[in-house]
Structure 1
């Protein structure tokens, strides 16, 4: 791989000095008035500019080739077009006024286009919007995205669920590389902080073509914050308080960019006590999280690269039963301590009309799980009360982890963007990883093993006058070598085809057909022990086959200046679906669960309405409904399928002299009764949750201060979500929670 990288750099050297410039202006199409502070962005080059007081902009050091250029400003339709360089003339843009919110570039799909240009439907939400709704954690925030839910253990631990599929069926990407964090466990969270993350993108459906195994159900793609624009710098700090947990999270960051070099760093700390319900605090739902992110970038005309590093350390209490009632922050036994390191490198070499993208990732996940009676002194007399009374008890007693696993992963992703040939944009690439799992604790759930992946892909985007087609194919190979002697090989060939077309002036349709696959993970193949986090003895099945699925996805969207309506429907057939089922036996008084396979079908969809009547552009009425049903071939229902839900929001937005971006909202979320349950689940009652909030930006000492105040579950309703792992103990989800957030930008 080193030699390939050197060759690419040598290829780029002859054209490094073939620099191009682009200048022009941005104005209102109707009035010809110049637009100040309009954003002009070249996504492939990650170059941005802002118009000055006369509406003018300028770019330098643009390599030869064809690139997308995106022009946007609040109150106008986002404009996108392709420009070939060298470009001899100035380029002026005229934008059309519109109440429709600005579009953003979708990074998780290969061609980095606006959503309106994408063949594949992708949901996108900014972290700022999730925080404005009062989200306590990243896993909590993503549940406001249609089609996305979370399997939760209290507040601190959440696993994304996309249209009924979760765990290793949903792939998480951070800093441009796939996250490896022992995802097989229901009680294993993301191990990521929302600090330093700009936005979240969700691919709902098979994405194996783009990402390989484990993307059978979809992808959660986390976009890190951008570097500062050339020759600028900035700093900010924020503080958030949450009443239910008597907790807070705070972060601060600084970034600066010159003409070629750029850097950023951000640190954050979060501490929360046990969350409150209307009747009690949930014992040991407390947690503490520390997070540090840093980035370094370098850019020339024909070459750009960035190196990012993230370390996240979390101490997470595991709720089991109600007990001590206080607001201390130190977790009781049992608890997890997880340290996650992510080092990523992302580089692009621009050739004549083509480019190479080269991404590498080094990940190190250190997971420790502590239980009672596992300290160095062999003292069996410790109880929750002692640890709670002495916040330093864990350190003083030098606890030894009962379960201690280290997962080390190196992954790579190399893509070649071929020169555009007429209507065809084409990408070919290779992806893969090598991964080792090692045990250091006195208990062992999964054995030491080495996993190797390799995949090859090719995909094309074909442009026609009124429609776009995307096609692709991929081959993957995975080998799992268990130190105890088991050696398993899995392979799969997958493909995808999609079409986007305009059925009428304001109606867009998307039809995507795709296959995906997932190789069994180590836990499913080799488990033989008590999984403490789930209170069951798990026995793996070394004869498991690939999960293989095929999904049809149809999306319709109507949009004009007054209203937006979307309807998404999907049908997902999964062959050899892997699930865990109780055998009825006991080992050491712990129920035994076996891993089995059966064909399954999932179907459902989402529909939504966004009404913003012109000229009342400040008023927004939003409504969305989502449903999913999952069944085995024998008509038994699949476990952990979210209930149907309905969300209704009334939102207003203003700009005043005193407060910019002033907003307020009232939201009612309805979760319907879930009666379609698996053999070892029980039905879950429906409930309604009322939320509200307001915020805005004021000028303080010549800088911006963002203020956010929101409340969730304002009626203090006692309820249990169907995907809560505490449901079997009858423990309620969070009660009323008031969030106050402040962000000061320098």
Structure 2
């Protein structure tokens, strides 16, 4: 802990001695076809988290910029996004000409540690912007992300879901929130991601090992939630969002306001509330106790100066989540609009305090991120006033990066990360699944990036150390009869895990037509608390879960190769991967019983996963108001020992999308119509004790427009998912073994009012 404080002092000292930098960049933005100025173009600098908007003459200006290369993104609906890399010390005035297009091929991504274009990154990164989520909304944020090729979800109803990236899920996918590693005890099969769309500008998904950047838990990839941009200097703005769902009678209200002064101070405040009744499946049957409610509050403030910027944020999230009891399905069905809690249910509360600071030191930069997170998880099964499983978790994280410029084309990052987690059982909880425990992570890493107009080359190396200590000495453990594996006399167990990982990748862009990408990376994951030490019933399920303290850490090496070919009217890309995982941990039922509960046991074996994604995008230049895409994604997972299939591997999927973007119709600005289809093939590669799942086809229809109301902008959209009301089973649903079908037709109305 002392070295963290020392680094904090160094950060403050760096601010004091940082060179004064107060550069500006200005310019005009025009339509490439007719040279008309474009009004309202968003000019954004991802490194700084801020930007500007072009005025009536297409003019924009950014002030207080550092003396270093910056990637600047120019985006406007109906036009292809433009990216420029500029050092304001060398160029203070630019002219941008945007080309009309219904889809944008390239955009900035930040999840690979370096700010760069998505097309240039050797790491496969998918980006889903907020506008896409608003146009095709879902009750769960993860369900909205699962429409991405290569990404799916494990779900326990619409309120509880977690990401699956190329067949890997649970503790193998890391969530990043406000730049910090986010853990809210999502190790459980029925513990959701627990994050919402509130206050986000978009989500970036790394497909493949990202342990070199983010550490343990990122061996499958990363879901990085990107915060909305700070307010423009001298302005106060806000928005009000209302959404309603027909299927679950859901309603969501989201409102926020943000502002910034001319002297550099900025602030933001946002709140959201969401409520859903039980959902209906495709036959119109009510699925009892799938209701849920969430409340979310976010606040932040910060300071932008010539030396850099600093900000602090606070997030509060409250979730009350019903859990279907497969033994009493019919008894849980009540009146159509009933939202009252039923047994069993989860009550989850999160408090997240985070700070981010950037200090510019000439061409170099120092970035420091600190986070403190409190999570309270209560699972109640028998009586409303009795918590069956109660866990309190607190964790502190730090991430310090020094970006060292080694020339105009080369940059090196040196980093130090740490994560300290403490999990404590409620003393009055009726049941105990895992012991009290602490987890101490420490790591060092170095990353290298070289880029020129044709080549981007990246590489890195990392060392990690983790110590996990389980403690079952408390009197409530003795009274309950909880035992650690081997029944040690001290009633404590400690395990340490350490090792090296590395990655190397390159992108070659010989022209605008071709792009080639190759990346080889190793990842790792230390076993989570449940896999090591669980030994008890899991409330809300029919399982008695058992772990093993002898597990070693999972280690994988994955190779990715991608090719993209683009012409004026279309683009086609293919990504393939092979993932070799040693010591893969999986969860499976046994034929043993503990009382009335089936014993589920964690086991370890080597595994291979392989597959890929293909995408065809069509945007004919002769009819620019029409665009279409079709994608195919597949993954196969097998145990290496006997070539049997791994459990919970998603079925092959073929997605289709057809969009029409029209000219303004009277007061209706940029109206659009969008048709989507998803053909999920038969999942006929089940694991042992798993059943095959038949395929299905889901269709969607979405349309909307923007118009002015009381001199303010109102965005309205109507979306219908599962338009044909298909009655289907999802192979990735934890309710599938009980024959519980998925959400039927769901029509949603979204209204967004900006002021």
Q: Provide TM-score, normalisation by structure 1.
A: 0.94
Residue in 1 that maps onto 2:465? 477
In the superposition, relative to structure 1, how do residues 608 and 65 fare at CA in structure 2: closer, same or farther (>3 Å)? closer
Flag the 1:582–1:94 CA change in 2: closer, same or farther, 3 A.
Answer: closer
- The answer to whether residue 547 in structure 2 is matched with residue 553 in structure 1 is no
Counterpart for residue 378 of structure 1: none
Map of 1:143 onto structure 2: 146
Q: Distance in 2 between matches of 1:470 and 1:370?
A: 48
Q: Is 1:427 aligned to 2:413, yes or no?
A: yes
TM-fit CA distance, 1:100? 4.1
What is the deviation of 1:589? 1.9
Match of 2:204 in 1: 201
Equivalent-residue separation in structure 2 for 1:135 and 1:279 (angstroms): 19
Deviation at 1:31, TM superposition (A): 4.9
Is it true that 1:319 corresponds to 2:324 in the alignment? Answer: yes
Shift in alpha-carbon separation, 1:182–1:276, aligned structure 2, 3 A = same
Q: Which structure 2 segments of 5+ residues have no match?
A: 472-490
Find the counterpart in structure 1 of residue 599 from structure 2.
Answer: 592
1:556 shift after superposition: 1.2
| Alignment partners' CA distance in 1, 2:456 and 2:35 | 32
2:366 paired with 1:359:
no
Residue in structure 1 matching 2:306, options 293, 301, 306: 301
What secondary structure is seen at the aligned counterpart in 2 of 1:49?
strand
SS in 2 for 1:525: helix
Shift of 1:535: 1.7
Moved more, 20-29 or 712-721: 20-29
- Which one of the candidate residues 432, 436, 448 is aligned to 1:444? 432
Q: Secondary structure at the match of 2:744?
A: coil
Q: Is residue 404 of structure 1 aligned with residue 390 of structure 2? A: yes
The residue aligned with 1:257 is 260
- Could you tell which deviates more after superposition, 464-473 or 636-645? 464-473
Tell me which residue corresponds to 1:384.
none
- How far does the alpha carbon of each residue in 1:360-419 deviate from its partner, in whole angstroms, 9 at most, with x for none? 0101110000011x4xxxxxxxxxxxxxxxxxxx5xxxx120110011000010000002
1:604-615 correspondence runs (5 A): 604-615=611-622
The Cα of 1:510 is off from its aligned counterpart by 0.6
1:103: Cα distance to partner?
3.6
Between stretches 191-200 and 536-545, larger displacement belongs to 191-200
Deviates most, 653-662 or 696-705 = 653-662
Distance 1:703 1:435 in 2: 46
Out of 252, 267, 270, the position equivalent to 1:266 is: 270
User: Is the CA contact (8 Å cut-off) linking 1:418 and 1:427 kept in structure 2?
Assistant: yes
Q: Deviations over 1:237-260 (max 9, x none)?
A: 111111111121111111111121
From the superposition, tell whether residues 418 and 252 of structure 1 become closer, same or farther in structure 2 (CA, over 3 Å): same
What SS is found at the alignment partner of 1:130?
helix
Q: CA deviation at 1:42?
A: 2.8
Tell me the secondary structure at the aligned position of residue 280 of structure 2. Answer: coil
Task: Work out whether residues 274 and 326 of structure 1, in 8 Å CA contact, stay in contact via their aligned partners in 2.
Answer: no
**1:525 is the counterpart of 2:535:** no
The superposition leaves residues 603-645 of structure 1 with CA deviations (integer Å, 9 ceiling, x where unpaired) of: 0111111111112111111111111100001111000000111
How many aligned residue pairs are there? Answer: 722
Contact 1:72 1:102 in 2 (8 A): no
- C-alpha distance in structure 2 between counterparts of 1:452 and 1:599, whole Å: 26
Q: 1:18 to 1:606 in 2, by over 3 A?
A: closer
Q: Is 2:356 the counterpart of 1:342?
A: no
Instruction: Kindly report the root-mean-square deviation, in angstroms, between the aligned alpha carbons of the 2 structures.
Output: 1.7
Q: Would you say the 8 A contact 2:345–2:540 is kept in 1?
A: no
Secondary structure, in 3 states, of the residue corresponding to 1:500? strand
**1:22 has 2:30 as partner:** no
- Normalising by structure 2, report the TM-score: 0.93
Alpha-carbon separation, structure 1, partners of 2:227 and 2:513: 33
Deviation at 1:712, TM superposition (A): 1.3
Q: Tell me how far apart the structure 1 counterparts of residues 94 and 617 of structure 2 sit (CA, whole Å).
A: 34
Cα 1:247–1:285 shift into 2, 3 Å:
same
The aligned residue for residue 463 of structure 1 is 451
2:103 and 2:627 in contact (8 A); partners too: no
Tell me the residue number matched to 1:287: 292
2:694 to 682, 685, 693: 685
